A and B are shown apart, each in its own frame.
Chain A
Amino acid sequence: MTTTLYTSDHEWLVIDGDVATVGITDYAQSQLGDVVFVELPKVGRALKKSEAAAVVESVKAASDVYAPISGEVLEVNQAVVDEPALVNSDAADKAWFFKIKISDKGELGGLMDEAAYKAHTA
């Protein structure tokens, strides 16, 4: 059983036990435009909630992707580094950015469910 949550900065998290898979939302990719470069955190890095964890760049501009919660990076998705356009074509699934081991489940309380996120981007 997994749960999908969202941040106001347009990241999504799929929570599966104490592991969260993080990506950016389809709304975010549509605002960025054509993604040409993705930089991901190193595996093993301890991320603090709200710190810059990854970078996504379009032709026009660079944007930070923030850690939505605190935790250790367990795995990163090399596929989006090799093929940044995946972020545009499949932001919500294949273009996940990294997985983190959730260090404080209490931080999940501040995140939005799908209905709240839809209202946020409306």
Chain B
Amino acid sequence: MLARDVQDSLKRTPLHALHVSLGGKMVPFAGYEMPVQYPAGVLKEHLHTRSSAGLFDVSHMGQIALRPKSGRIEDAAKALEGLVPQDIVAIPQGRQRYAQFTNADGGILDDLMVANFGDHLFLVVNAACKAEDEAHLRTNLSDDCLIDSLSQRALIALQGPKAESVLAKLCAEAPSLRFMDAGPRKVDGIDCFVSRSGYTGEDGFEISVPAADAERLAKTLLADSDVLPIGLGARDSLRLEAGLCLYGHDIDTTTTPVEAALEWSVQKSRRTGGARAGGFPGAEKILGHFDQGATRRRVGLKAEGRAPVREGAALFADTTVSEPVGKVTSGGFGPSLNAPVAMGYVPTALSALGTTIYAEVRGQRLPLTVAAMPFVKNTYKR
């Protein structure tokens, strides 16, 4: 049980009672009381998601609508481009894109999803950052947009190879969606926003549902024999195997998108020589990193032994030097790989695939190899 004073200050999602009834072990996370695991345990939950389908409550994340005051979606898109290095104007209606809010130093304030819903932009941001993100949007975009916090909606992720067949029973259009399609859809008669995306490396969906209907929808999905509830523990091991960044760990206000190996997420139109180059916070630094390279880089790390290398472990160029050259930002055991996996920052000179680097764990230097990410092949339906 959580200490009462902690418990009292924590927020609950609309699925809280369901988690408790399913035997979820509730822990504090980003100001919410969330299930870290259910009785099946992290290992089984992880493997079930990769082989069948897992249901995740991600209602703690922030959902925000950006509505253009002019009524023209491109005005909201242009305004948002002032805060992110992504091409938002080019997102077609019904599509979604990964983005980052950057700061004046080129660091990352948060990472987010941006979808074009035709008359407005729909944003999903991290739970721990959502108050700051909303304030950031109000400060900078209020001239052009109405910023609408959709706090009365829950968010349910359904992930895994059977997610499509499960959701198809409640939403006939689900199989026709491709990776990163997003828009309003009826699910079991409920007005939802459905995107074909997620945070596991698996095919799957994220379903934004009115809070009042969330428990009924979650129960209907869980009634399918292919679906198990999955806690935050397995969500973390799944995203780590998928090579996906966790904000506050792998990316933060001190890492640029280039250092974080997220160049793929910055479209050419926003880079030097592009049609709308720059014009976002920290553009000089970030475009400089694009043009001249950065001195450090986020890489995947595979261990030679069985010992997991955890977040915070210092990285060394060899077994004897005393000065670390970087550190592990996420690490643990990958249940699908049945081996330890980690990611961290190393000097660019040591970032080539196959480079050996050493992590200090309990006073010993363990050899790691710089490895391609994702560690587990993703199965997106493109």
Contact = CB atoms under 8 A, between A and B. Distances in A.
To the question of whether A and B form a pair in one complex, the answer is: yes
Interface string A40-66: 000000000000000101111110000
A59 B46 contact: yes
Per DSSP, chain B at the interface is mixed
B43 interface: yes
A37 B236 CA distance: 18
Interface in B307-346: 307-308, 310, 332-333, 335, 340
Contacts of B310: 61-62
B42 A57 contact: no
A33 B41 contact: yes
Contacts of B233: 33, 59-60
Contact of B41 (A34, A55, A62): A34
B382 interface: no
Contacts of A62: 308, 310
Nearest to A64: B362
A34 B44 CA distance: 9
B332 A59 contact: yes
Contacts of A24: none
B362 A33 contact: no
B41 A57 contact: no
Given A55-B362, A59-B237, A33 B37 contact: yes
A76 to B, nearest CB: 15
B42 A59 contact: yes
A37 B233 CA distance: 17
B333 A37 contact: yes
A59 B43 contact: yes
A62 to B, nearest CB: 6
A37 B308 contact: yes
26 contacts: A33-B37, A33-B41, A33-B42, A33-B43, A33-B233, A34-B42, A34-B335, A36-B43, A36-B335, A37-B307, A37-B333, A37-B340, A39-B362, A55-B362, A57-B307, A57-B308, A58-B42, A58-B333, A59-B42, A59-B43, A59-B233, A59-B237, A60-B36, A60-B42, A61-B310, A62-B308
